[in-house]
Structure 1
Amino acid sequence: MKIEHVSCKGYRIPPSIPWEDATNKVQWLEIIVVELKTDTGLTGTGISYTVDVGGKAIVALLEEYLAHLVIGMNPLHYEEIWYKLQRQSRRLGLGVNSMAIAAIDIAVWDVMGKHYGQPLYKLLGGAREQIPAYISEINLRSDDTIEKLLERVDSYMEQGYRTVKIKIGKPDIEEDVERITKVQERLGKDGRVLVDLNQKLSSVDSIALLSKLDDLNLGWIEEPLLFHDVHAHKLLKSRLKTPIALGESLHSKHQVLEYLKADAVDYVQADVAFVGGITEWLKIAHMSNAFGKLVAPHFMMELSLHLLCGVQNSYMLENVTGGSFSELGILDIPITVENATGVPSQLPGHGIVLNRQQLSQYEIREHAASTFVGGSK
């Protein structure tokens, strides 16, 4: 079997509800879709994405360079393909090239699943048939009240959720404490609250501020500091009893390894699109297991379902409000979480069947003027 053709398109899709956290107000998701065709008639779909910026750069990198490199290669040889793409793009650093490689790599694994007639999670190890999920909010708008927050929590509980992640990072941390404690009260003794700072704090003030949260019995504190500061995370983790979660802003197993070696992370949140696809994510998962850490991949719910059900050291599935492919309206076959439990598609491959007609309205046209205004705080 050989790869005969690779095509790529980019789409700009706003979240189905407004997204805002402590450091950014999101305008749109840029979703990159790769179609990989083989000489046997099998096709694979690969998906990557960015938040707000960089989608056109990834599409250009794929179209002008990377797609041509895999023509004639056997898609069953996923390691050979991944290594070739990484070697040819390594001088770009880490980031855009990893996200581009991911789109091809995910398409390759989709082809493999179809070739072997197996859903993706079984190719990855088949550790379980389902995975518990938590709800994940991106809602830290200035006009959001505690009353509105608790109304949303009530709706999550009606859907079966008992673990909820909320954004924090208010100007006064006492506001965060109040929001956390009110949500905990609403969830009850069987509930759990996770919090996410989106890298807002500096290493100077993090210990003093987060010590105010340390007796709240939180499930984790996510991305408290800038993603590249391993030493600061190590110091913070040594001073807190609350677990630290991070990894969505890392782009390789080597970056994750530095955190593991430093004992600077408790839950590893590597994003399959950001680290270069399934091939690299699987290595990160197994490496994390060797250090006794659980994995809780960031976003990409439809793919993360397979990843979590494939490996042994899984924690929970993140279901981001307003960001699933079903909520975005771009699937032919909906993939949803029922009663706070995710069950992966049983179709061969990853089972993500995109609605091309719906997607077409969001396509990034080559010469279209960008209306991006920027939302960083």
Structure 2
Amino acid sequence: MHIDGLEVFVLRAPHTDRPHWVSHFTVASANEILVRMRTSEGVEGFGLATSYASAEPIIQAFRNGIGEQIIGMDPLAPERLHEAVLSLTSQRLAHEKGWGREALIRIAAAVDIACWDIIGKMAKLPLHRLLGGYRDRVPCYVTCAYYRDGKDLVELRDEMQKLKGQGHTGYKAKVGGVTLAEDMKRLEVVRDVIGSDNDLMIDANRAWDLATATEAIGLLEPLRPRWLEEPVRWADDRRELKLLSQRTRIPLSAGESELTAYGCRALLEERAIQILQFDCTMFGGFTEGRKLAALCELNHVQVAPHHDCFIHAPLVASTPAGCTVESFTDPERDPLQAELFENPPNIADGWVTLNDAPGLGLTLADAALRKFGERIL
């Protein structure tokens, strides 16, 4: 068996007049690469790559021949295929073709996920069983409380009441975009609406220096957050996370901003975090994701991947280290979660129940591809 066909789409949503902000950058409502892979035996699978930066380098790599490096390879040998694509980052060919390092890492991720979708279909098993089979449903939380132009505490309260009405049991609020005093007022609204029995997670998106983060943890502890995510700025975050963890009882989390699995490994080696949040659609796919999950289990660290809950749920469900997945139930914030699949797994009462169909168990919606997709290969 070999790969004998690729279709590649860039998925985008129209720009909104009121973009969603985190601490220091806007978040696109859709900016993903979809790879549909066909084998010589007619089996099809798909994978996704997420990018917060421009997708143009990824698009240009596909238009400039990267697919030729993938066609003909064995989809049942994902380790070999992942190594082959990743090794291009150190080869002259990539420079000659203009294939950037980050673009290749994203492409390797999408192709790897497509391989595992095919492997599951060939084995006639859903991925959560193939990868370990620990359970068939996982907890999920909703990410919310973004900054938006003109958004006041009244609008924030309305947002939280709407989400609570949807039955969520975990909520992750954004901080770091205003002063600590202003953020505390926002978080008090969030905690007041969701109540004391529901989980509150707090995400600074690498906004604070160590001194500010140290001040913040003292203010946040009375709110009993389940975790504080990426609290410190990027330049020395691994060491500063370790120092901060020694100053607080709040569990710290990180990992989504790493470029490779090796960066996540370093976070574990520093004993800087209690929750790892790698993203299979940004680096590594399931080939690296399952290694990180195993490493977390052996180091008593929980796995709570970043973004794309329906992609990550099978991996989280496969391992005892699996903690939770991140969901976005506002179609304006994430229309792909709402529309990309004909058969999205059911989210109810704070849990995602996985489909029992083989592979990813997901069927792409043609209407969503027409609405959001532009074919580039």
User: TM-score scaled by structure 1?
Assistant: 0.89
Q: Which residue of 1 aligns with 2:22?
A: 21
Shift of 1:37: 1.1
* Paired letter, 1:110: D
Shift of 1:336: 4.0
For 1:89-100, list aligned pairs within 5 A: 89-90=89-90, 95-100=102-107
Question: In structure 2, how many angstroms separate the alpha carbons of the residues matched to 1:324 and 1:311?
Answer: 29
After superposition, the C-alpha distances for 1:91-112 in whole angstroms (9 at most, x for unaligned) are 6785322211011101101111
After superposition, the C-alpha distances for 1:106-125 in whole angstroms (9 at most, x for unaligned) are 11011111101111111111
Shift of 1:194: 0.8
Q: Which residue of 1 aligns with 2:94?
A: none
After superposition, the C-alpha distances for 1:199-249 in whole angstroms (9 at most, x for unaligned) are 111234322343322333111111112345211111111112211111111
1:299 corresponds to 2:307: yes
Question: In structure 2, how many angstroms separate the alpha carbons of the residues matched to 1:312 and 1:153?
Answer: 31
Q: Which residue of 1 aligns with 2:287?
A: 279
Contact 1:195–1:220 at 8 Å: present in 2 too?
yes
Q: Which residue of 2 aligns with 1:332?
A: 342
Q: Which residue of 2 aligns with 1:194?
A: 201
1:56 corresponds to 2:66: no
1:317 corresponds to 2:325: yes
Question: In structure 2, how many angstroms separate the alpha carbons of the residues matched to 1:345 and 1:75?
Answer: 23
Shift of 1:182: 2.9
Q: Residues 354 and 338 (structure 1 numbering): CA distance in 2 closer, same or farther, change over 3 Å?
A: same
* Paired letter, 1:30: N
Shift of 1:294: 0.2
For 1:219-368, list aligned pairs within 5 A: 219-227=226-234, 229=236, 230-320=238-328, 321=330, 322-323=333-334, 325-327=336-338, 329-364=339-374
Q: Which residue of 2 aligns with 1:75?
A: 75
Q: Residues 272 and 15 (structure 1 numbering): CA distance in 2 closer, same or farther, change over 3 Å?
A: farther
SS at match of 2:231: coil
Shift of 1:334: 3.4
Question: In structure 1, how many angstroms separate the alpha carbons of the residues matched to 2:323 and 2:292?
Answer: 14
* Paired letter, 1:10: V
Q: Residues 227 and 113 (structure 1 numbering): CA distance in 2 closer, same or farther, change over 3 Å?
A: farther
Contact 2:3–2:74 at 8 Å: present in 1 too?
yes
SS at match of 2:372: coil
Q: Residues 218 and 245 (structure 1 numbering): CA distance in 2 closer, same or farther, change over 3 Å?
A: same
For 1:88-127, list aligned pairs within 5 A: 88-90=88-90, 95-127=102-134
After superposition, the C-alpha distances for 1:224-280 in whole angstroms (9 at most, x for unaligned) are 123452111111111122111111111222101111111111110101111221111
Q: Which residue of 2 aligns with 1:145?
A: 152
Please, which moves more after superposition, 165-174 or 102-111? 165-174
SS at match of 2:281: coil
* Paired letter, 1:355: A
Contact 2:160–2:190 at 8 Å: present in 1 too?
yes
Q: Residues 156 and 282 (structure 1 numbering): CA distance in 2 closer, same or farther, change over 3 Å?
A: same
Q: Residues 316 and 3 (structure 1 numbering): CA distance in 2 closer, same or farther, change over 3 Å?
A: same
SS at match of 1:239: coil
Q: Which residue of 2 aligns with 1:375?
A: none
Q: Residues 211 and 15 (structure 1 numbering): CA distance in 2 closer, same or farther, change over 3 Å?
A: farther
Q: Which residue of 1 aligns with 2:135?
A: 128
SS at match of 2:64: helix
SS at match of 1:215: helix
Q: Which residue of 2 aligns with 1:167?
A: 174
Question: In structure 2, how many angstroms separate the alpha carbons of the residues matched to 1:324 and 1:307?
Answer: 23
Please, which moves more after superposition, 209-218 or 186-195? 209-218
Question: In structure 1, how many angstroms separate the alpha carbons of the residues matched to 2:28 and 2:121?
Answer: 35
Shift of 1:90: 4.1
* Paired letter, 1:325: L
After superposition, the C-alpha distances for 1:11-54 in whole angstroms (9 at most, x for unaligned) are 22248984221111234422211121111111111111212x33
Sequence identity of aligned pairs in percent? 25
Please, which moves more after superposition, 168-177 or 305-314? 168-177
Q: Residues 93 and 287 (structure 1 numbering): CA distance in 2 closer, same or farther, change over 3 Å?
A: farther
SS at match of 1:95: helix
Name structure 1 gaps, 5 residues minimum: 367-377
Q: Residues 247 and 15 (structure 1 numbering): CA distance in 2 closer, same or farther, change over 3 Å?
A: farther
User: TM-score scaled by structure 2?
Assistant: 0.89
